[in-house]
Amino acid sequence: MDAPAVNITVNGQPVSVPEGTVLLEAVRAAGVELPTLCYHEGLAPYGACRLCMVAITEPHQALVASCAYPVEEGIVVETDAPEAVTARRLALEFLLGRCPQSNVIRDLAAREGVTGSRFGAPLPERADELCVLCGLCVRVCREAIGAAAISFVGRGVERRVGTPFDVHADACIGCGACAEICPTGAIEIEDRGNQRILRTWNTTVELHACPECGCFFAPEPTAFLKEMLPEAADVWGLCPECLRKRTARQWIEQMPVGPA
Question: What domains are defined for the chain?
Answer: 1-130 (3.10.20.740), 136-251 (no CATH)
DSSP state letter for 145: I
pLDDT digits (tens, 9 = 90+) for 38-54: 999 999 999 999 999 99
**CA 214 – CA 27 distance, rounded (Å):** 48
* 18 pLDDT above the threshold of 70: yes
> pTM to 2 decimals?
0.85
With residue 218 as reference, give the H or E element that holds it: strand 216-219
Instruction: Count Cβ atoms within 10 A of the Cβ of residue 94 and give its class: 0-12 exposed, 13-18 middle, 19 or more buried.
Output: middle
pLDDT at residue 238 in the model: 84
